[in-house]
């Protein structure tokens, strides 16, 4: 039996490459000397794409393959895939939800604690020999904090559960109120920012969230306010954030995601009152393996005629008429 042709747009974990090679003829776009020639040659035959976030999976790419049926994307966020276009063109898009909820929630709590209690700064202080001179200055605390979550979805709820265990009050903002949660809902992001002293972002990227955390929201968060972002860098107006941190419009920030990764503005790197992580929210061996397996399982289930396991909202399965 001939194996179906699958295009892998960029380097993916070895276990994904190994497992897919058993079931598909895998074409590695990033290794092609002449990418254009590879795409042209594969145009009639590619039925599946395995995609990381490194290459946009846009209509210009997907549209080259009339027989394309599925795009399996690594990660729960899929803003690099034009899923709305895929849905309209009979292509199902899958992502890797749920298997990373606990890891990303752990990271969010770690980042929040690091930012409030300045743990990375205390580590630098000790290594610089300054403890020998005097103790590290007293820091802020989680005890007097109220957290507003922007994006109370799967991961947001795992974060809220942890915050409850820490005894920290939680409220949230999203486009819709969720009747089955006990946390207070704010229809307005600015109103929520006014009422909390931590704004924690775990909303997806894309047009509807682009820079919604802007100068007005940061002003509402106020001089005691802390911004934590484990969602997407594009949700924050980064120049406005830098300005707010410089002008002490807000107190500090803990960021795992940035607008133009892996490039992080020098101004942020130069600030000692921010904590910066290199997008490590889900980056443990355990969780990345689980995500990788889901990328493979979606493609194999689909090729076996069983349908995708985790289609995204824009491409429901079975397709709606």
Positions in the binding site for ligand NDP (CB under 6 A): 76-77, 97, 100, 104, 151-156, 174-176, 202-205, 208-209, 230-232, 256-257, 279, 281-282
Q: Min. distance of Cβ 104 from ligand NDP in angstroms?
A: 4
C-alpha 35 chain-centroid distance = 28
- Residue number of the CB closest to ligand NDP reads 153
Indicate left, alpha or beta for 110 from its phi (over 0: left) and psi (-120 to 50: alpha): alpha
Q: Name the residue among 167, 214, 171 with its Cα closest to residue 196.
A: 171
Instruction: Report the distance separating Cα 293 and Cα 316, nearest Å.
Output: 21
* Residue number, 27 or 80, with CB nearest to ligand NDP: 80
- Three-state SS for 15? helix
List the structure tokens of 181.
């949660």
Residue 94: what are its φ and ψ, rounded to 5°?
-120, 155
User: Is 263 marked active-site?
Assistant: no
Active site residue 261: yes
Minimum Å gap between C-beta 270 and ligand NDP is 23
Nearer to ligand NDP (CB atom), residue 68 or residue 199: 199
Nearest residue (CB) to ligand NDP, 6 versus 193: 193
Task: Report the C-alpha gap between 27 and 9 in whole angstroms.
Answer: 8
Return the number of the residue (143 or 175) whose C-beta is nearest ligand NDP: 175
Which residue's structure tokens are 């897919």?
A: 20
Q: At its nearest, how many Å lie between ligand NDP and the CB of residue 262? A: 13
DSSP 131: G
**3-state per-residue secondary structure call for 193-208:** HHHCCEEEECCCCCHH
Find residue 146's DSSP bridge partners.
none
> Catalytic: which of 80, 145, 173, 279?
279
Query: Closest approach of Cβ 148 to ligand NDP, in Å?
Result: 12
In the residue annotation, 177 being an active-site residue is answered as: no
Q: Nearest approach, Cβ of 19 to ligand NDP (angstroms)?
A: 22
Shortest separation between residue 124's beta carbon and ligand NDP, angstroms: 23
Residue 287 to residue 290: CA distance in whole angstroms: 5
Name which of 68 and 76 has its Cβ closer to ligand NDP. Answer: 76
Residues 6+ apart with CB under 8 A from 112: 142, 147, 198, 200, 226, 228, 254
Catalytic residue among 232, 238, 259, 288: 232
- Which of 40, 54, 164, 261 is an active site residue? 261
Of 52 and 231, nearer to ligand NDP (C-beta) is: 231
What angle is formed at CA 83 by the lines to CA 263 and CA 74, rounded to 5 degrees? 55
Which residues are the active-site residues? 232, 261, 279
């Amino acid at each position: 039996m001939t194996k179906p042709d699958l295009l892998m747009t960029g380097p993916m974990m070895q276990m994904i490459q190994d497992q897919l090679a058993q079931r598909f003829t895998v074409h590695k776009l990033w290794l092609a000397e002449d990418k254009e020639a590879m795409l042209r040659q594969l145009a009639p035959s590619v039925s599946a794409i395995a995609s990381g976030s490194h290459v946009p999976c846009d209509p210009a790419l997907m549209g080259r393959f009339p027989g394309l049926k599925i795009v399996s994307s690594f990660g729960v966020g899929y803003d690099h895939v034009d899923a709305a276009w895929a849905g309209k063109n009979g292509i199902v898009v899958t992502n890797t939800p749920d298997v990373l909820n606990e890891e990303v929630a752990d990271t969010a709590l770690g980042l929040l604690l690091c930012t409030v209690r300045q743990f990375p700064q205390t580590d630098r202080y000790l290594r610089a020999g300054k403890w020998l001179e005097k103790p590290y200055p007293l820091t802020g605390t989680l005890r007097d904090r109220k957290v507003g979550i922007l994006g109370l979805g799967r991961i947001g709820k795992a974060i809220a559960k942890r915050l409850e265990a820490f005894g920290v009050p939680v409220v949230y903002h999203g486009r819709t109120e969720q009747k089955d949660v006990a946390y207070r809902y704010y229809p307005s992001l600015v109103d929520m920012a006014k009422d909390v002293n931590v704004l924690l972002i775990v909303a997806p990227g894309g047009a509807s969230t682009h820079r919604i955390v802007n100068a007005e929201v940061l002003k509402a968060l106020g001089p005691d306010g802390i911004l934590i972002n484990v969602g997407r860098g594009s949700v924050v107006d980064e120049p406005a954030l830098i300005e707010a941190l410089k002008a002490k419009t807000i107190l500090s920030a803990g960021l795992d995601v940035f607008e133009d990764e892996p490039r992080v503005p020098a101004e942020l790197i130069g600030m000692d009152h921010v904590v910066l992580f290199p997008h490590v929210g889900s980056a443990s061996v355990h969780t990345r393996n689980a995500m990788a397996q889901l990328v493979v399982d979606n493609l194999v289930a689909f090729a076996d005629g069983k349908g995708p396991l985790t289609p995204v909202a824009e491409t429901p399965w079975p397709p709606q008429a």
